[in-house]
């Protein structure tokens, strides 16, 4: 199902490979900090994560709503990111995905939100 019209999205990408370039496999999960609704009162996202698998080339790609969407409530929400990739620290961290980042962003370029 597609998101409602007017919801700004951003594509988050990343790579998880060995030093030799082989894929580490696994997945990256993005969970919103709040249940989100659009201006019409329809639930857009529950609290379940969106999971992006790491492919055979070691890359993941996922398109998510930006965290500064004026058409989503409540305001001030974020994503918790959980990396389930062999050999990578599994400690969850929080990020913001404002539309000012542009149409896409590398996960490694984001500073965890405080």
Q: What is the pLDDT of residue 114?
A: 58
Q: Could you report the average pLDDT of every consecutive run of 10 residues in the chain (114 residues)?
A: 82 95 96 90 85 97 95 93 92 95 96 67
DSSP letter string over 61-74?
Answer: EEEEE-TT-TTEES
Cβ count within 10 A of residue 100: 9
Q: What is the pLDDT of residue 1?
A: 61
- Reading phi first (left if > 0) and then psi (alpha if -120 to 50, else beta), residue 11 is in beta
* Domains identified in the chain and CATH numbers: 9-99 (2.60.40)
β partners of residue 3: none
Task: Name residues whose C-beta falls within 8 Å of residue 7's C-beta, 6 or more positions apart in sequence.
Answer: 38, 44, 65, 69, 71, 72
Q: What is d(CA 78, CA 75) in angstroms, rounded to the nearest whole number?
A: 9
Q: pTM for this structure?
A: 0.92
Q: What is the pLDDT of residue 111?
A: 73
Q: What is the pLDDT of residue 39?
A: 79
Closest CA to 92 of 54, 40, 49, 42: 49
Q: What is the pLDDT of residue 113?
A: 64
Could you tell me how far CA 2 lies from the centroid of its own chain? Answer: 16
């Amino acid at each position: 199902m597609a998101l409602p019209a007017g919801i700004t999205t951003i594509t988050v990408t990343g790579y998880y490979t060995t030093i030799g370039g082989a894929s580490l496999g696994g997945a990256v999960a993005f969970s919103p900090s709040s249940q989100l609704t659009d201006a019409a009162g329809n639930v857009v996202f529950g609290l379940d994560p969106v999971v992006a698998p790491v492919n055979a080339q070691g890359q993941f790609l996922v398109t998510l709503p930006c965290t500064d969407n004026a058409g989503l409530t409540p305001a001030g929400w974020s994503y918790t990111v959980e990396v389930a990739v062999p050999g990578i620290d599994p400690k969850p961290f929080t990020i913001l995905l404002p539309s000012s980042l542009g149409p896409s962003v590398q996960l490694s370029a984001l500073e965890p939100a405080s």
